[in-house]
């Protein structure tokens, strides 16, 4: 291919020429870049117009049988890009808006002193003057150590003390719905039921109250083999389940006595019984095991359960969520469990919460858990016996000391 640059017209004066030997691609097309030959950099592009002529010999010789010519079009700013830096002389400002602006009065002396305090100005105010300042808008700075007015400034020490008071109030319950924090800083809503104060949501801390981490155990075999504290999330999916359902803990975590925040504890079976009695008492049914003095309660489950069903999009329980009224404000949710031999199951159908103590007439290696089902209105006190179910992962609700 022979490429030529012509001035003035398609048949005008030749100012540059080069020859290339490109190879087509599979579609018969070539892409070339011109301008590497001698003399290209001396072309005065302002003296145009210019045309580019391409001549092609498909056999690779100089018998050019394919010819095409087209005009080169340029961007006007590009023609001046090289010479713009060499503009000399002064610029006459003829903008009447500028002439009447504040900027028109700025002098070289002003700019030389731009970041320096001019000697002709004297600052006489000190901090006492600023504190004493009080204008008609009442925008004063005064009483910084003990603010009294809405416009008063305050010291950092004053604000820090105020923040501490707020934190103390957040962690101190007086009556009714309040909040409390765990070792991770998670905040929990509280409800008063009878004379007891309960968490309204499941515990989700990753640390004991002395800030010792609770190991996260995801593997089924490792979980089943635990004889020490451990935690997990349903289906090992903290993103989906942690904030709504909380964590699942094994018995060994509960048995540390340090799972709940300071001033709170995992309830004993007798404290669960006190809650049950307040909500309606016991159904006189046969015990599950010999010596078992606890049984189902009448209607209490519905008073504890959060309302709505998954099917109608208004709740977390599968239908029918029988008699669910949440009359107590406990807001029980069906977090399921991690069974030590069959894995995660029963979410949406059942909620389980650890008790922190066993019965006096049962094995020292036994404990109980409260459970509520979707299909009925009862509360069950399930029996964790002889250590064989201590590896189960259950939810936890904390009770105020």
Q: Radius of gyration of the chain from Cα atoms?
A: 42
Could you tell me whether strands 196-199 and 187-193 are parallel, antiparallel, or unpaired per DSSP bridges? antiparallel
Q: Where are the domains of the chain?
A: 2-80, 124-170, 187-400
The pLDDT value given to residue 77: 64
Q: Is the peptide bond before 320 cis (omega within 30 degrees of 0)?
A: yes
d(CA 11, CA 101): 56
The pLDDT value given to residue 282: 63
The pLDDT value given to residue 163: 83
Phi, psi (degrees; rounded to nearest 5) at 122: -125, 130
d(CA 311, CA 297): 27
Place of tokens 């409800």: 191
Name the stretches of the chain with pLDDT < 50: 136, 174-176, 286-294, 360-363, 365, 385-386
Helix (H) / strand (E) element for 159: namely helix 156-170
SS3 110: helix
DSSP string, 301-329: HHHHBPS-BTTTTS-SBPTT-TT---TTS
For the chain, the straight-line distance linking the first and the last C-alpha, in angstroms and rounded, comes to 94
Which residues in 159-194 are b (16+ Cβ under 10 Å) and which e? eeeeeeeeeeeeeebeeeebebebbeebebebbbbe
The pLDDT value given to residue 137: 55
Query: What letter does residue 158 receive in the DSSP assignment?
Result: H
| Contact status, residue 259 vs residue 203, Cβ threshold 8 Å | yes
The pLDDT value given to residue 297: 58
pLDDT digits 0-9 by tens, 366-394:
567 788 888 877 787 766 544 557 889 99
The pLDDT value given to residue 35: 87
Beta bridge partners of 14: 6
The answer to whether the predicted template modeling score (pTM) of the entire model surpasses 0.85 is no
Sign of the dihedral through C-alpha 200, 383, 319, 346? positive
Which residues in 259-284 are b (16+ Cβ under 10 Å) and which e? bbbeebbbbbbebbbbbbeebbebee
Could you tell me whether strands 337-339 and 264-265 are parallel, antiparallel, or unpaired per DSSP bridges? unpaired
d(CA 272, CA 22): 88
d(CA 40, CA 121): 62
Take residue 282 and report the two structure tokens written for it: 């016991």
d(CA 61, CA 358): 101
d(CA 51, CA 224): 83
């Amino acid at each position: 291919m022979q490429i030529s640059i012509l001035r003035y017209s398609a048949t005008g004066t030749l100012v540059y020429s080069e020859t290339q030997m490109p190879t087509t691609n599979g579609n018969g097309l070539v892409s070339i870049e011109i301008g590497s030959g001698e003399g290209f950099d001396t072309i005065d592009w302002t003296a145009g117009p210019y045309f580019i002529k391409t001549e092609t010999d498909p056999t690779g010789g100089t018998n050019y049988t394919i010819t095409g010519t087209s005009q080169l079009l340029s961007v006007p700013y590009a023609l001046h890009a090289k010479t713009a830096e060499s503009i000399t002389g002064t610029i006459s400002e003829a903008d009447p808006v500028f002439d009447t602006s504040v900027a028109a009065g700025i002098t070289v002396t002003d700019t030389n002193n731009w970041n320096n305090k001019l000697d002709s100005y004297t600052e006489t105010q000190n901090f006492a003057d600023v504190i004493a300042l009080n204008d008609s808008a009442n925008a004063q700075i005064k009483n910084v150590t003990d603010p009294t007015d809405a416009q008063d400034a305050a010291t950092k020490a004053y604000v820090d003390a105020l923040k501490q008071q707020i934190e103390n109030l957040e962690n101190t319950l007086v009556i009714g719905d309040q909040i409390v924090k765990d070792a991770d800083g998670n905040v929990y809503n509280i409800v008063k039921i009878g004379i007891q104060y309960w968490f309204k949501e499941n515990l989700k801390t990753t640390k004991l109250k002395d800030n010792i981490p609770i190991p996260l155990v995801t593997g089924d075999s490792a979980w089943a083999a635990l004889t020490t504290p451990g935690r997990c999330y349903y289906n090992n999916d903290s993103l989906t389940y942690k904030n709504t359902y909380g964590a699942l803990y094994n018995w060994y975590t509960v048995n540390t006595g340090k799972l709940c925040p300071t001033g709170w504890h995992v309830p004993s079976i007798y404290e669960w019984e006190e809650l049950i009695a307040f909500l309606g008492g016991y159904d006189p049914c046969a015990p599950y095991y010999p010596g078992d003095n606890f049984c189902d309660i009448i209607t209490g489950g519905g008073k504890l359960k959060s309302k709505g069903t998954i099917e109608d999009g208004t709740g977390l329980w599968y239908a029918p969520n029988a008699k669910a009224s949440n009359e107590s404000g406990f807001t029980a949710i069906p977090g399921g469990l991690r069974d030590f031999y069959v894995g995660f199951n029963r979410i949406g159908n059942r909620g389980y919460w650890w008790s922190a103590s066993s019965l006096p007439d049962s094995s020292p290696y036994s404990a109980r858990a409260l459970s509520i089902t979707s299909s009925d209105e009862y509360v069950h006190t399930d029996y964790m016996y002889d250590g064989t179910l201590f590896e189960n992962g259950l939810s936890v609700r904390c009770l105020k000391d």
